[in-house]
């Protein structure tokens, strides 16, 4: 309380009044005290004592932004696996879908003050992510789906996409490709940056060129972008797309333009699924171990609860599943 009083520039009595919801404090002051108290990790006592032995939850606040879990079937595999692990301790998943990372932070703050969750899970991490910052400052137990270098000491579960995309790049370069297009979700996503860096590194080494197009990660934008790339003066000989759905859309655009996949154009999907396997030709893809990542995240949540706030786990990315949509460069 004295820390909060000092930070808020008020007396300890005012802090006590504000925290206990008693009259005699202005609404503005109460709001400010509660906000600062939240940052210090304060929790209402009544809720805390009733919840300590009772309801327990892992929080998960998805952003509705393009390319996030809120738009992908694999998210349900992930969430389902997380949930299976944490259910061992009677935990449920408290889910909210909000518009932005900033809105997610507001939800963390509110839920934490109300003691609605025990550990927060963060997915779809941005290169500059206010959520990781805020959770660390609020000292809220959390586990992040991202490499430790962007987790600021929070528990981390990640897929080494860097290595996976290096493998994709190397595979394409060995087939003779030098003009590679990457059609991705938002540039702001940390994983987009990792993927682009990996592809660029491999292409630079052989004097190749990466053409990058950021989209909202829908099949529609993937189709429109593919069309634009293929009708440009120097079209790429390969397009690597973030997801199975985007890759299927690209395959159809190529077909409509009269191009033969893989002879005129190679296509690679950044996540695998039945859609890739059943397409004609079937689509070369990177396996996305959503269930495994979910299980690892569930274990990370339990580790954080058990006093290992800096728990870290790397899920090894599988190799490229080579199928009919990729071939040596023909021109």
Applying CB under 8 A, does 137 fall inside the site for its own copies?
no
- Using CB under 8 A as the binding rule, whether residue 278 contacts its own copies is answered as yes
Burial of 46 from C-beta contacts in 10 A (0-12 / 13-18 / 19+): exposed
Question: At its nearest, how many Å lie between its own copies and the CB of residue 195?
Answer: 22
* C-alpha span between 147 and 190 (Å, rounded): 9
Q: List, in sequence order, every residue forming a beta bridge with 144; answer none if it has no partner.
A: 122, 156
CB of 252 to its own copies, least distance (A): 5
Binding track over 4-43 against its own copies, x by CB under 8 A:
----------------------------------------
- CB 201, min distance to its own copies, A: 32
Size of the residue set binding its own copies (CB under 8 A): 51
Looking at the chain, the number of H-run helices and the number of E-run strands are: 13, 11
Residue from 199, 248, 261, 327 touching its own copies (CB under 8 A): that is 248
CA 184 to chain centre: 13
Closest CA to 296 of 170, 111, 158: 158
152 binds its own copies (CB under 8 A): no
Using the 8-state DSSP alphabet, how is residue 1 labeled?
A: -
Residue 243 sits in the site that holds its own copies (CB under 8 A) = no
Give the shortest CB-123-to-its own copies separation in angstroms. 13
Taking the C-alpha atoms of residue 69 and residue 86, their distance in angstroms, rounded to an integer, is: 19
Nearer to its own copies, 73 or 312 (CB): 73
E strand map for 127-282:
142-145, 155-159, 179-184, 209-214, 238-241, 266-269
H helices of 206-284, in order, are: 219-230, 244-256, 274-278
The CA–CA distances, whole Å, from 301 to 23, 32, 38, 55 equal: 39, 31, 21, 16
Smallest gap from residue 283 Cβ to its own copies (A): 11
Q: Which stretch binds its own copies (CB under 8 A): 11-19, 195-203, 216-224, 317-325?
A: 216-224
Q: Give the footprint of its own copies on residues 51-110 (CB under 8 A).
A: 51, 54-55, 57, 64, 70-73, 75-76, 79-80, 83-84, 87, 90, 92-97, 110
Helix/strand/coil for 70? helix
127 binds its own copies per the rule CB under 8 A: no
Please identify which residue in 133, 220, 260, 316 interacts with its own copies, judged by CB under 8 A.
Answer: 220
- Residue numbers of the site for its own copies (CB under 8 A)? 44, 46-47, 49-51, 54-55, 57, 64, 70-73, 75-76, 79-80, 83-84, 87, 90, 92-97, 110-111, 114-116, 218-220, 223, 245, 248-249, 252-253, 255-256, 273-275, 277-280
């Amino acid at each position: 309380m004295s820390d909060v009083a000092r930070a808020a520039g008020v007396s300890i009595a005012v802090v006590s009044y504000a925290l206990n919801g008693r009259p005699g404090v202005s609404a503005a002051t109460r709001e400010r005290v509660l906000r600062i108290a939240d940052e210090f990790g304060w929790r209402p006592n009544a809720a805390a004592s009733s919840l300590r032995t009772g309801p327990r939850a892992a929080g998960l606040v998805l952003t509705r932004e393009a390319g996030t879990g809120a738009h992908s079937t694999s998210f349900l595999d992930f969430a389902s696996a997380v949930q299976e692990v944490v259910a061992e301790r009677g935990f449920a998943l408290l889910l909210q879908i909000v518009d932005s990372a900033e809105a997610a932070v507001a939800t963390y703050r509110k839920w934490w003050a109300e003691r609605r969750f025990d550990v927060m899970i963060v997915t779809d991490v941005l290169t500059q992510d206010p959520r990781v910052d805020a959770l660390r400052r609020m000292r809220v137990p959390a586990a992040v789906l991202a490499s430790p270098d962007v987790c600021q000491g929070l528990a981390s579960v990640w897929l080494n996409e860097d290595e996976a995309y290096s493998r994709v790049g190397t595979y394409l370069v060995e087939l003779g490709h030098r003009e590679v297009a990457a059609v991705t979700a938002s540039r702001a996503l940390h994983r987009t940056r990792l993927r682009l860096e990996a592809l660029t590194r491999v292409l630079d080494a052989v004097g190749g060129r990466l053409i990058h197009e950021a989209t909202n990660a829908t099949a529609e934008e993937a189709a429109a972008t593919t069309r634009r790339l293929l009708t440009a003066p120097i079209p790429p000989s390969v397009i690597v797309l973030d997801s199975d759905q985007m890759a299927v859309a690209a395959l159809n655009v190529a077909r409509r333009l009269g191009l033969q996949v893989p002879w005129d154009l190679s296509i690679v999907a950044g996540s695998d699924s039945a859609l890739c396997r059943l397409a004609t030709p079937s689509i070369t893809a990177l396996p996305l171990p959503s269930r495994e990542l979910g299980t690892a995240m569930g274990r990370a949540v339990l580790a954080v609860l058990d006093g290992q706030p800096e728990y870290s786990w790397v899920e090894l990315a599988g190799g490229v599943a080579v199928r009919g949509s990729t071939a040596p460069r023909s021109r």
